[in-house]
Protein backbone atom coordinates (compact mmCIF):
# COMPACT_ATOMS: atom_id res chain seq x y z
CA UNK A 1 0.00 0.00 0.00
CA UNK A 2 1.05 3.62 -0.38
CA UNK A 3 0.76 6.33 2.28
CA UNK A 4 1.00 10.07 1.61
CA UNK A 5 1.34 11.90 -1.71
CA UNK A 6 2.80 9.69 -4.46
CA UNK A 7 1.52 11.44 -7.56
CA UNK A 8 -1.92 12.46 -8.70
CA UNK A 9 -3.00 8.92 -9.64
CA UNK A 10 -1.15 6.69 -7.22
CA UNK A 11 -3.22 3.75 -5.96
CA UNK A 12 -3.99 3.50 -2.27
CA UNK A 13 -4.12 -0.24 -1.82
CA UNK A 14 -2.03 -3.28 -1.12
CA UNK A 15 1.07 -3.93 -3.20
CA UNK A 16 1.20 -7.70 -3.56
CA UNK A 17 4.66 -9.23 -3.37
CA UNK A 18 3.59 -12.74 -4.41
CA UNK A 19 6.19 -15.41 -3.77
CA UNK A 20 8.84 -14.48 -6.32
CA UNK A 21 11.52 -11.90 -5.61
CA UNK A 22 10.24 -8.38 -6.14
CA UNK A 23 12.47 -5.32 -6.09
CA UNK A 24 10.85 -2.12 -4.83
CA UNK A 25 12.22 1.43 -4.74
CA UNK A 26 10.74 4.92 -4.47
CA UNK A 27 11.42 8.07 -6.45
CA UNK A 28 10.28 11.60 -5.64
CA UNK A 29 6.55 10.96 -6.26
CA UNK A 30 6.42 7.38 -7.51
CA UNK A 31 7.14 3.77 -6.61
CA UNK A 32 8.84 1.21 -8.86
CA UNK A 33 8.39 -2.56 -8.62
CA UNK A 34 10.39 -5.05 -10.66
CA UNK A 35 9.04 -8.60 -10.91
CA UNK A 36 11.43 -11.18 -12.40
CA UNK A 37 8.61 -13.73 -12.64
CA UNK A 38 6.42 -11.37 -14.67
CA UNK A 39 9.44 -9.88 -16.47
CA UNK A 40 8.08 -6.43 -15.75
CA UNK A 41 8.76 -3.00 -14.30
CA UNK A 42 5.68 -1.33 -12.86
CA UNK A 43 5.71 2.37 -11.99
CA UNK A 44 2.99 3.57 -9.61
CA UNK A 45 2.30 7.26 -9.14
CA UNK A 46 4.23 10.08 -10.72
CA UNK A 47 2.87 13.48 -11.66
CA UNK A 48 0.19 13.15 -14.30
CA UNK A 49 1.93 10.51 -16.42
CA UNK A 50 0.32 7.22 -15.37
CA UNK A 51 -3.15 6.07 -14.39
CA UNK A 52 -4.13 4.17 -11.26
CA UNK A 53 -3.08 0.86 -12.83
CA UNK A 54 0.46 2.15 -13.21
CA UNK A 55 2.75 2.17 -16.17
CA UNK A 56 4.00 -1.33 -16.99
CA UNK A 57 7.10 -2.12 -19.06
CA UNK A 58 7.57 -5.77 -20.04
CA UNK A 59 11.04 -6.94 -21.03
CA UNK A 60 12.69 -10.37 -20.92
CA UNK A 61 15.72 -8.73 -19.29
CA UNK A 62 13.74 -8.23 -16.06
CA UNK A 63 13.67 -12.00 -15.57
CA UNK A 64 17.27 -11.69 -14.40
CA UNK A 65 17.00 -8.43 -12.48
CA UNK A 66 19.67 -7.92 -9.83
CA UNK A 67 18.77 -4.55 -8.26
CA UNK A 68 16.48 -1.56 -8.60
CA UNK A 69 16.96 2.05 -7.47
CA UNK A 70 15.19 5.34 -8.12
CA UNK A 71 16.35 8.88 -8.78
CA UNK A 72 14.03 11.87 -8.50
CA UNK A 73 12.47 11.22 -11.91
CA UNK A 74 13.91 7.91 -13.12
CA UNK A 75 14.29 4.21 -12.38
CA UNK A 76 17.55 2.27 -12.66
CA UNK A 77 17.39 -1.51 -13.02
CA UNK A 78 20.48 -3.73 -13.12
CA UNK A 79 19.93 -6.97 -15.08
CA UNK A 80 22.08 -9.52 -16.87
CA UNK A 81 21.43 -7.45 -20.02
CA UNK A 82 23.02 -4.39 -18.47
CA UNK A 83 21.87 -1.18 -16.77
CA UNK A 84 18.39 -0.03 -17.74
CA UNK A 85 17.38 3.60 -17.26
CA UNK A 86 13.71 4.63 -17.40
CA UNK A 87 12.40 8.20 -17.12
CA UNK A 88 8.96 8.61 -15.57
CA UNK A 89 8.25 12.26 -16.39
CA UNK A 90 7.29 11.62 -20.02
CA UNK A 91 9.46 14.42 -21.37
CA UNK A 92 12.59 12.46 -22.36
CA UNK A 93 13.49 9.12 -23.92
CA UNK A 94 11.53 6.71 -21.78
CA UNK A 95 13.96 3.78 -21.93
CA UNK A 96 17.68 3.36 -22.50
CA UNK A 97 20.07 0.45 -21.93
CA UNK A 98 23.82 0.32 -21.56
CA UNK A 99 26.32 -2.47 -21.08
CA UNK A 100 27.33 -3.04 -17.48
CA UNK A 101 30.37 -5.18 -16.72
CA UNK A 102 29.77 -7.55 -13.86
CA UNK A 103 26.01 -7.00 -13.80
CA UNK A 104 25.34 -10.58 -12.67
CA UNK A 105 27.42 -9.96 -9.54
CA UNK A 106 25.43 -6.88 -8.40
CA UNK A 107 23.54 -7.37 -5.14
CA UNK A 108 22.26 -3.84 -4.40
CA UNK A 109 22.07 -0.33 -5.84
CA UNK A 110 21.07 3.19 -4.83
CA UNK A 111 20.90 6.71 -6.28
CA UNK A 112 21.53 10.03 -4.49
CA UNK A 113 19.60 13.28 -4.82
CA UNK A 114 21.80 14.42 -7.69
CA UNK A 115 21.09 11.26 -9.70
CA UNK A 116 24.46 9.65 -8.94
CA UNK A 117 24.13 5.87 -9.24
CA UNK A 118 26.15 3.37 -7.21
CA UNK A 119 25.96 -0.41 -7.09
CA UNK A 120 27.39 -3.03 -4.75
CA UNK A 121 28.66 -6.38 -6.03
CA UNK A 122 29.06 -9.71 -4.27
CA UNK A 123 32.77 -9.06 -3.75
CA UNK A 124 31.96 -6.00 -1.64
CA UNK A 125 33.03 -3.43 -4.26
CA UNK A 126 31.22 -0.11 -4.82
CA UNK A 127 30.67 0.54 -8.54
CA UNK A 128 29.51 3.54 -10.57
CA UNK A 129 27.12 3.63 -13.55
CA UNK A 130 29.94 2.42 -15.83
CA UNK A 131 30.79 -0.56 -13.64
CA UNK A 132 34.05 0.99 -12.43
CA UNK A 133 35.08 1.01 -8.78
CA UNK A 134 34.18 4.27 -7.02
CA UNK A 135 36.53 3.73 -4.08
CA UNK A 136 39.69 1.69 -3.78
CA UNK A 137 39.48 -1.18 -1.25
CA UNK A 138 42.07 0.61 0.88
CA UNK A 139 39.49 3.32 1.64
CA UNK A 140 37.63 0.80 3.83
CA UNK A 141 40.84 -0.65 5.27
CA UNK A 142 40.55 -3.54 2.83
CA UNK A 143 37.23 -4.77 4.28
CA UNK A 144 34.39 -5.63 1.89
CA UNK A 145 31.27 -3.42 1.80
CA UNK A 146 27.98 -5.27 2.45
CA UNK A 147 25.38 -2.47 2.53
CA UNK A 148 24.99 0.82 0.65
CA UNK A 149 22.62 3.74 1.29
CA UNK A 150 22.58 7.13 -0.45
CA UNK A 151 20.68 10.25 0.60
CA UNK A 152 20.29 13.77 -0.74
CA UNK A 153 24.02 14.46 -1.00
CA UNK A 154 25.57 11.97 1.42
CA UNK A 155 25.91 8.24 1.83
CA UNK A 156 26.66 5.31 4.14
CA UNK A 157 28.52 2.07 3.56
CA UNK A 158 28.35 -0.80 6.03
CA UNK A 159 31.34 -3.13 5.89
CA UNK A 160 31.67 -6.84 6.56
CA UNK A 161 33.06 -6.18 10.04
CA UNK A 162 29.88 -4.24 10.97
CA UNK A 163 31.35 -0.73 10.76
CA UNK A 164 29.57 2.28 9.24
CA UNK A 165 31.48 4.60 6.87
CA UNK A 166 29.93 7.88 5.77
CA UNK A 167 30.77 10.58 3.23
CA UNK A 168 29.33 13.65 1.49
CA UNK A 169 27.38 16.72 2.59
CA UNK A 170 27.55 17.06 6.37
CA UNK A 171 26.15 20.50 7.16
CA UNK A 172 23.69 19.08 9.71
CA UNK A 173 25.96 16.31 10.99
CA UNK A 174 24.19 13.67 8.89
CA UNK A 175 27.46 11.76 8.51
CA UNK A 176 27.38 11.02 12.26
CA UNK A 177 31.03 11.90 12.85
CA UNK A 178 30.44 14.10 15.92
CA UNK A 179 30.99 17.37 14.03
CA UNK A 180 29.21 19.26 11.26
CA UNK A 181 31.04 20.36 8.13
CA UNK A 182 30.37 21.34 4.55
CA UNK A 183 31.65 18.05 3.17
CA UNK A 184 33.25 14.73 4.06
CA UNK A 185 35.10 14.00 0.80
CA UNK A 186 35.96 10.35 1.43
CA UNK A 187 34.23 7.55 3.37
CA UNK A 188 35.11 7.91 7.05
CA UNK A 189 34.42 5.39 9.83
CA UNK A 190 31.81 6.36 12.43
CA UNK A 191 34.00 5.65 15.45
CA UNK A 192 31.32 6.44 18.04
CA UNK A 193 29.82 3.02 17.28
CA UNK A 194 32.95 0.87 17.18
CA UNK A 195 34.35 2.62 20.27
CA UNK A 196 31.56 1.16 22.42
CA UNK A 197 31.17 -2.15 20.57
CA UNK A 198 28.00 -1.27 18.63
CA UNK A 199 27.82 -3.30 15.43
CA UNK A 200 26.00 -1.75 12.46
CA UNK A 201 24.09 -4.05 10.11
CA UNK A 202 22.28 -1.60 7.82
CA UNK A 203 21.50 2.08 7.25
CA UNK A 204 19.20 4.40 5.32
CA UNK A 205 19.61 8.03 4.32
CA UNK A 206 17.12 10.87 3.96
CA UNK A 207 17.65 14.30 2.50
CA UNK A 208 19.85 15.54 5.37
CA UNK A 209 19.69 12.80 8.00
CA UNK A 210 20.71 9.18 8.51
CA UNK A 211 19.27 6.18 10.34
CA UNK A 212 21.66 3.40 11.37
CA UNK A 213 20.52 -0.13 12.25
CA UNK A 214 22.56 -1.66 15.08
CA UNK A 215 22.73 -5.42 15.48
CA UNK A 216 21.86 -6.30 19.03
CA UNK A 217 22.35 -10.05 18.74
CA UNK A 218 19.73 -11.97 20.75
CA UNK A 219 18.21 -8.66 21.87
CA UNK A 220 17.35 -7.68 18.28
CA UNK A 221 18.19 -4.59 16.29
CA UNK A 222 17.99 -0.96 17.42
CA UNK A 223 18.07 2.36 15.58
CA UNK A 224 20.33 5.40 15.85
CA UNK A 225 19.72 8.72 14.07
CA UNK A 226 21.72 11.83 13.24
CA UNK A 227 21.43 14.95 11.10
CA UNK A 228 18.62 17.48 10.97
CA UNK A 229 15.50 17.02 13.09
CA UNK A 230 13.58 19.94 11.59
CA UNK A 231 10.53 17.76 10.92
CA UNK A 232 10.97 15.14 13.64
CA UNK A 233 12.59 12.73 11.18
CA UNK A 234 15.16 11.54 13.73
CA UNK A 235 12.40 10.15 15.95
CA UNK A 236 14.54 10.49 19.06
CA UNK A 237 13.91 12.16 22.41
CA UNK A 238 17.53 13.30 22.54
CA UNK A 239 17.28 16.01 19.87
CA UNK A 240 14.69 18.79 19.89
CA UNK A 241 12.45 19.49 16.90
CA UNK A 242 14.21 22.04 14.70
CA UNK A 243 17.67 21.17 16.02
CA UNK A 244 20.29 18.79 14.62
CA UNK A 245 22.84 16.35 16.00
CA UNK A 246 26.14 15.15 14.57
CA UNK A 247 26.29 12.31 17.10
CA UNK A 248 23.94 9.36 16.46
CA UNK A 249 21.12 9.20 19.02
CA UNK A 250 19.03 6.18 20.04
CA UNK A 251 15.51 5.92 18.57
CA UNK A 252 13.11 4.28 21.03
CA UNK A 253 11.04 1.40 19.63
CA UNK A 254 9.16 -1.18 21.69
CA UNK A 255 10.13 -3.99 19.31
CA UNK A 256 13.26 -4.61 17.28
CA UNK A 257 13.00 -3.42 13.67
CA UNK A 258 13.59 -5.84 10.81
CA UNK A 259 14.07 -3.04 8.27
CA UNK A 260 14.04 0.77 8.06
CA UNK A 261 13.83 3.20 5.15
CA UNK A 262 14.10 6.99 5.00
CA UNK A 263 12.19 9.39 2.80
CA UNK A 264 13.18 13.00 2.25
CA UNK A 265 11.94 14.06 5.71
CA UNK A 266 10.26 10.98 7.20
CA UNK A 267 10.97 7.33 8.10
CA UNK A 268 9.36 3.90 8.11
CA UNK A 269 10.39 0.87 10.15
CA UNK A 270 8.96 -2.65 10.08
CA UNK A 271 8.75 -4.41 13.46
CA UNK A 272 7.16 -7.65 14.64
CA UNK A 273 4.03 -5.81 15.77
CA UNK A 274 3.61 -3.50 12.77
CA UNK A 275 5.01 -0.70 10.65
CA UNK A 276 6.05 2.49 12.43
CA UNK A 277 6.17 5.91 10.73
CA UNK A 278 7.56 9.25 11.91
CA UNK A 279 8.79 12.64 10.72
CA UNK A 280 7.16 15.11 8.33
CA UNK A 281 3.43 14.51 7.79
CA UNK A 282 2.45 17.55 5.70
CA UNK A 283 1.30 15.23 2.89
CA UNK A 284 0.01 12.49 5.17
CA UNK A 285 3.15 10.41 4.65
CA UNK A 286 3.10 9.24 8.27
CA UNK A 287 -0.52 8.16 8.05
CA UNK A 288 -1.56 10.64 10.75
CA UNK A 289 -4.32 13.23 10.79
CA UNK A 290 -3.80 16.31 8.63
CA UNK A 291 -3.52 18.44 11.78
CA UNK A 292 -0.33 16.58 12.72
CA UNK A 293 2.22 18.25 10.45
CA UNK A 294 4.99 16.47 12.36
CA UNK A 295 5.03 13.02 13.97
CA UNK A 296 8.07 13.35 16.28
CA UNK A 297 8.22 9.76 17.56
CA UNK A 298 7.65 6.40 15.86
CA UNK A 299 3.90 5.75 15.63
CA UNK A 300 2.36 2.44 14.58
CA UNK A 301 0.47 2.57 11.28
CA UNK A 302 -2.77 0.75 12.04
CA UNK A 303 -3.70 -0.10 8.45
CA UNK A 304 -1.04 -2.80 8.08
CA UNK A 305 -2.48 -6.15 9.20
CA UNK A 306 0.37 -8.40 10.26
CA UNK A 307 -1.99 -11.12 11.43
CA UNK A 308 -2.36 -12.32 7.85
CA UNK A 309 0.49 -10.50 6.07
CA UNK A 310 4.21 -10.01 6.40
CA UNK A 311 6.16 -6.94 5.32
CA UNK A 312 8.50 -7.81 2.47
CA UNK A 313 9.90 -4.36 1.69
CA UNK A 314 9.60 -0.66 2.46
CA UNK A 315 10.37 2.31 0.22
CA UNK A 316 10.03 6.03 0.91
CA UNK A 317 9.89 8.96 -1.51
CA UNK A 318 9.65 12.67 -0.93
CA UNK A 319 6.20 12.51 0.66
CA UNK A 320 5.04 8.90 0.57
CA UNK A 321 5.73 5.42 1.90
CA UNK A 322 5.30 2.18 -0.06
CA UNK A 323 4.73 -0.96 2.00
CA UNK A 324 5.11 -4.25 0.14
CA UNK A 325 3.30 -7.14 1.83
CA UNK A 326 2.83 -10.83 1.13
CA UNK A 327 0.07 -13.01 2.51
CA UNK A 328 1.20 -15.44 5.16
CA UNK A 329 0.45 -19.06 4.23
CA UNK A 330 -1.79 -20.74 6.83
CA UNK A 331 -0.24 -23.69 8.68
CA UNK A 332 -0.82 -26.99 6.90
CA UNK A 333 -2.84 -29.70 8.59
CA UNK A 334 -1.53 -33.28 8.53
CA UNK A 335 -4.18 -34.14 5.91
CA UNK A 336 -2.84 -31.46 3.55
CA UNK A 337 0.75 -32.71 3.62
Q: What is the pLDDT of residue 309?
A: 80
**Euclidean distance between CA atoms 58 and 60, whole angstroms:** 7
pLDDT (average), residues 191-196: 92
Confidence of residue 181 (pLDDT cuts 50, 70, 90): very high
**Euclidean distance between CA atoms 155 and 254, whole angstroms:** 28
More confident site: 220 or 133: 133
SS3 67: strand
Q: What is the pLDDT of residue 55?
A: 84
Q: What is the pLDDT of residue 5?
A: 52
CATH number for the domain running over 171-181+195-328: 2.130.10.30
DSSP string, 138-169: GGGTTPPEEEEEE-SSEEEEEETTS-EEEEEE
Confidence of residue 133 (pLDDT cuts 50, 70, 90): very high
pLDDT (average), residues 195-203: 94
Q: What is the pLDDT of residue 2?
A: 63
**Three-class DSSP labels, 185-241:** EEEEECHHHHCCCCEEEEEEECCCEEEEEEECHHHCCEEEEEEECCCCCCCCCCCCC
Q: Per-residue pLDDT for 203 more than 50?
A: yes
Closest CA to 214 of 201, 227, 225, 203: 201
More confident site: 75 or 52: 75
SS3 253: coil
Q: Per-residue pLDDT for 242 more than 70?
A: yes
pLDDT (average), residues 151-161: 97
- pLDDT, one tens digit per residue, over 93-128 is 578 999 999 999 999 999 999 999 999 999 999 999
pLDDT (average), residues 133-144: 93
pLDDT (average), residues 69-82: 95
Confidence of residue 176 (pLDDT cuts 50, 70, 90): very high
- pTM of the complete model: 0.90
In degrees, to the nearest 5, what angle opens at C-alpha 68 toward C-alphas 283 and 102?
155
Lowest mean pLDDT among 133-137, 222-226, 231-235: 133-137
Can you give the residue ranges of every domain in the chain? 171-181+195-328
**Euclidean distance between CA atoms 223 and 323, whole angstroms:** 19
Length of the chain: 337
Q: What is the pLDDT of residue 185?
A: 96
Amino acid sequence: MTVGYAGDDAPDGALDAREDAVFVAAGWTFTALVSPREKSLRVLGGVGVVDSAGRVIVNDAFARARACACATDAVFVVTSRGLGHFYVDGERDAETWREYDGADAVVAADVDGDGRFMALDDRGRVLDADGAEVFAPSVFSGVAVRRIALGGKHGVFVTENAEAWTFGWNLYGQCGLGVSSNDVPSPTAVRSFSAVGVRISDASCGDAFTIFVADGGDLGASLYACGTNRDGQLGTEDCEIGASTATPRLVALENAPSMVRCGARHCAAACADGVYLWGANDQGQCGAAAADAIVPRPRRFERVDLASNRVVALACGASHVAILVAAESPPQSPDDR
